[in-house]
């Protein structure tokens, strides 16, 4: 089993209401898991948001925490509801209605990785699915809720920046921004998960850094954005998708020659995002 449910990097002093999270960057693939898959150690990583946590690991320097997954996405998907169990994979689960994510094999315990490649040769017992939820899914989400609640209590509002990466090919049919293919896709569930002025500030932070930014297409946000985005309660959630080709060799799943340059640029973006809910900004708004 993966060693821990999550890793938390805290700032020396909490000065921002922004919480950064990376639910798909876990890369602890224990042998006990790998020996039950039909995939090799490379293929099992293809649905991972590889190195996204490293792109945003400067967040604590700017007064904001970073929560990152301990377990890999192929083992348990933290961006799915706990009840999105796949009857085609988990023995004893009944099919209730139609859920396109579950039907495609991308439930909370995934049946496939990228390009629809099966992870297992057979089914998993329900007890194994529940064990993964109990040891990894629930602790991660308890911690995320604690961080958001703390920030909201201290600053009067909180902003979750849910950090992801997307395959370059996912943008093949995306609408271009000013003639450019999008580098970043911001998801706010079509305006339902965050206040519009906050989304505009997030978009501007990336655009000012030179990135081409699109909104909600092809990714509008999944369970985390939908579940934690409560603008009426001053709790905002925004999903960020970064084109993997910008910073990594997708085939090899390793940083490319641009990795450090992109990471430096993103440091400025993270600083600007953290400032959205900084102590000084909150005081100025009072």
Range of the domain at 72: 6-78+136-285
Structural domain count, the chain: 1
Question: Does residue 10 sit within a domain?
Answer: yes
Please, which residues have CB within 8 angstroms of residue 164's CB and are 6 or more apart in sequence? 22, 23, 24, 49, 52, 79, 219, 239, 240, 241, 242
H or E element in which residue 159 lies: strand 158-166
pLDDT (0 to 100) of residue 282: 42
**128 close to 136: Cβ distance less than 8 angstroms:** no
C-alpha 101/C-alpha 89 separation (Å) is 13
pLDDT (0 to 100) of residue 161: 98
pLDDT (0 to 100) of residue 184: 97
DSSP labels for 18-48? EEEEETT------HHHHTT-SS-TTGGGTTS
pLDDT (0 to 100) of residue 175: 67
Please, which residues have CB within 8 angstroms of residue 143's CB and are 6 or more apart in sequence? 5, 6, 8, 67
Least confident range from 54-68, 129-143, 268-282: namely: 268-282
Question: Does residue 94 sit within a domain?
Answer: no
- Which CATH number is 20's domain given? 3.40.630.40
Question: Does residue 131 sit within a domain?
Answer: no
Residue among 214, 202, 219 nearest 269 (CA): 202
Over residues 149-202, the pLDDT tens digits come to 999 999 999 999 999 999 999 888 776 767 789 999 999 999 999 999 999 999
Question: Does residue 19 sit within a domain?
Answer: yes
Going by pLDDT thresholds of 50, 70 and 90, the confidence category of residue 94 is confident
Question: Does residue 258 sit within a domain?
Answer: yes
When the pLDDT of each residue in the chain is averaged and rounded to a whole number, the result is 94
Question: Does residue 175 sit within a domain?
Answer: yes
Question: Does residue 250 sit within a domain?
Answer: yes
Over residues 53-64, the pLDDT tens digits come to 999 999 999 999
pLDDT (0 to 100) of residue 172: 83
pLDDT (0 to 100) of residue 20: 98
* 3-class secondary-structure state, position 263: helix
Question: Does residue 130 sit within a domain?
Answer: no
**pTM attached to this predicted model:** 0.95
Tell whether the model's pLDDT for residue 278 goes beyond 80.
Answer: no
């Amino acid at each position: 089993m993966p060693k821990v449910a999550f890793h938390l990097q805290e700032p020396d002093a909490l000065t921002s209401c922004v919480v950064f999270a990376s639910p798909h960057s876990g890369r602890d693939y224990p042998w006990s898991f790998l020996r039950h898959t039909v995939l090799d150690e490379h293929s099992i990583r293809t649905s991972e948001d590889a190195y996204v946590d490293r792109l945003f690991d400067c967040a604590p320097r700017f007064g904001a925490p970073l929560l990152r997954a301990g377990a890999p996405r192929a083992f348990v998907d933290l961006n799915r509801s706990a009840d999105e169990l796949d009857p085609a994979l988990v023995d004893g689960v009944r099919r209730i209605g139609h859920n396109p994510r579950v039907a495609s094999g991308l439930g909370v315990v995934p049946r496939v990785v990228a390009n629809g490649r099966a992870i297992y040769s057979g089914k998993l017992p329900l007890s194994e699915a529940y064990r993964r939820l109990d040891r990894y899914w629930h602790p991660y989400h308890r911690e995320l809720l604690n961080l958001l609640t703390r920030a909201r209590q201290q600053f009067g509002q909180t902003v979750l920046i849910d950090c992801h990466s997307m395959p370059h090919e996912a943008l093949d049919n995306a609408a271009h921004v000013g003639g450019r293919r999008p580098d970043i896709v911001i998801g706010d569930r079509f305006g339902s998960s965050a206040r519009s002025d906050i989304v505009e500030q997030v978009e501007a932070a990336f655009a000012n850094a030179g990135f081409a930014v699109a909104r909600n297409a092809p990714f509008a946000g999944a369970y985390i954005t939908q579940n934690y985005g409560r603008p009426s309660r001053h709790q905002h959630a925004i999903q960020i998708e970064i084109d993997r080709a910008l910073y990594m060799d997708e085939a090899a799943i390793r940083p490319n020659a641009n990795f450090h340059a992109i990471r430096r640029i993103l440091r400025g973006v993270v600083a600007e995002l953290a400032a959205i809910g900084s102590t000084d900004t909150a005081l100025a708004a009072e």
